[in-house]
Each structure stands twice: as C-alpha cells, then as structure tokens.
Amino acid sequence: MIQQIASQLQAAYPADEAEALAWWIAEETTGLSRTQLLCGCKGTKNISNLQDIINRLLLFEPIQYIFGHTLWCGLDLRVTPATLIPRPETAELVERLSNFKSKISNLKYQIRVLDVGTGSGCIALALKKQHPDWQVTGIDISAEAIQVARENARRNKLDVEFLQMDIFSDSIDKNQYDIVVSNPPYICEREKAAMRDNVLRYEPAAALFVPDDDPLRFYRRIASLHLAPLIFFEFNEHFPAQMEALLREEGYTDIVLTHDSYGKPRIIEGRMAE
C-alpha cells in the first residue's frame, strides 16, 4: 500500500519525497510506527479519507496542515495556515542559543527570553522545554498565531507567555529581558520565483516576505529597540555582511555568524556593548 500511495504522489513529488509522504500518511492515520507497519500490524486499505489526503497533497498542500500538527524539537506543535511550519534551520537557531553558555553564564538571575514574531510558538516553547528555569515570552502581531501558540503551550504542558504585539507600534519594556531571539520575515519578494507551491499557496505571506527595497526592516527595528543585552537572529543567507553591519551600528559587539547544516550563513548573534 505504501508503494501505491507513493506512486500517486510521484505525479507531483520526486520519488524519495513521495515515499516519505506515503510513510507519513500511514503512520499518522494508523497511529503505528513504521516498524509496526512493516511487521504487518495493520494495513492502510481501510483508511476512509486516504484519497482525500492524497488529492490535497497533489495540490501541494503541506502535510503538516492536512494533519494539523507537526513534530519538531521534541514538541508536538499544532500548525495552521496562520503560522509557518517550523523548519530545520530554526531548530539550529534554538540549539545555538540553548547551548551557547559563555554569553549567558554571567547572568546571576533567572534568564528572561523574548521571542519576537513567535508564530506557532516553536522557538519559545523549545527553549522552555530545554530550560524549564528560563522565563520565556513570545510576541506576534497575528492574533491567530498567538491563539495557536497558546494552544501549543497547553498541548506541550509548558509555561510560556504569549502576547499579541506589534514591534513597530507597541511599547515593549526595555528592562525585562536578557535575550531577544527572532526568526522574522526575511524572504525577498523577488525570491518567490524560486519557491515551491506548497509554501507560496499555503503558508502565511506576512510571515515570510519582505520588500525587495527594505529586506532587513524587521532586524533593524528589533535591534534598534535595545531590548536585551544578547540578541540572536535567523536571517536570509544573502545578507550576512549587511546583518553584521546592522548589529554593529546598533551597538552590538562579539558578533558571531553561524552556518546552517546546508553550509549557508543563517544565524547571527551579538552582545550589547557595556
């Protein structure tokens, strides 16, 4: 049955991706692991909505939206078209921040983190899961995204505060946080031509795209607010030099660039000058 599902999906996806999706469908709809399925515990012949799932995938709807959730960084996250689907690169941002002890070891009190543009709450929740003693807050302009993030906090039994705020107009207390982290919109409009339909048709454009003539607008705004002594960003691979210059202009030092698993510059961090 896996091969039958995969063969249909190959009309729209490469063979390896089609097979991966077929296994995902089987595991999700039966509640069984791949090992259990291979052992013949249960087939997929009686899945009532199987063809509907396949048809939606053939229209490039992300499988995470079809099933309404995704597993990421040890979390079971609800995702909807109001939120981006968490990416592997963002997991690397979480790992970098979470494991980077030297810049936070001198903080003598409970570490307070602000996640700007939290979306599904994935970054904030992953940090809280890894560091239960941290105080973590996530903000987003989208009321729908905040609702999803709050549900994800309950779903994963994590105490994270989520607030609807607009960083361009709302006032944020500058003395509340030790670390600011953000994965804001950073894809230029001109890059749309190279993107897949599953992103363009279904994921929220406001969380993805920035104007070609001002691609760093969110970074500039967040950095200029000087909300915390430490800052961590995920950013567009095409602008490492510009990102470093931006942080230096705003008074950040000890700037470090980190490449993602694909070898692309993806994470930047810095400390406010004393």
Model confidence pLDDT, tens digit, residues 69-103: 999 999 999 999 999 999 999 999 999 998 876 56
Question: Does residue 231 contact residue 223 with C-beta atoms inside 8 Å?
Answer: yes
Query: Which domain does 18 fall in, by range?
Result: 2-59
Whether residue 143 is found in the same domain as residue 182: yes
Whether residue 87 is found in the same domain as residue 220: yes
Across 223-247, average pLDDT = 97
Q: What domain count does the chain have? A: 2
pLDDT at residue 20 tops 80: yes
Q: Is residue 96 part of a domain?
A: yes
Whether residue 136 is found in the same domain as residue 229: yes
Whether residue 106 is found in the same domain as residue 236: yes
Q: What is the pLDDT of residue 175?
A: 79
Percent of the chain with pLDDT over 70: 94
Instruction: Take residue 82 and report the two structure tokens written for it.
Output: 């109001």
Whether residue 124 is found in the same domain as residue 226: yes
pLDDT at residue 104 tops 80: no
Q: Is residue 46 part of a domain?
A: yes
Across 38-53, average pLDDT = 74
Q: Is residue 75 part of a domain?
A: no
Q: Is residue 92 part of a domain?
A: yes
Q: Is residue 49 part of a domain?
A: yes
Q: How many CB atoms lie within 10 A of CB 19?
A: 18
Q: Is residue 67 part of a domain?
A: no
Q: Is residue 114 part of a domain?
A: yes
Listed in order, strand segments (DSSP E) in 86-244 are: 112-116, 135-140, 161-164, 179-182, 187-188, 209-210, 230-234
Whether residue 137 is found in the same domain as residue 257: yes
pLDDT at residue 46 tops 90: no
Whether residue 169 is found in the same domain as residue 210: yes
Question: Does residue 224 contact residue 253 with C-beta atoms inside 8 Å?
Answer: no
Q: Is residue 78 part of a domain?
A: no
Whether residue 143 is found in the same domain as residue 92: yes
Whether residue 129 is found in the same domain as residue 214: yes
Whether residue 121 is found in the same domain as residue 245: yes
Whether residue 42 is found in the same domain as residue 99: no
Which CATH number does the domain housing residue 214 bear? 3.40.50.150
Whether residue 153 is found in the same domain as residue 48: no
| Cα–Cα distance list, 169 to 70, 165, 166 (Å) | 32, 8, 6
| Cα–Cα distance list, 163 to 115, 160, 172, 225, 250 (Å) | 10, 10, 11, 18, 26
Q: What is the pLDDT of residue 36?
A: 80
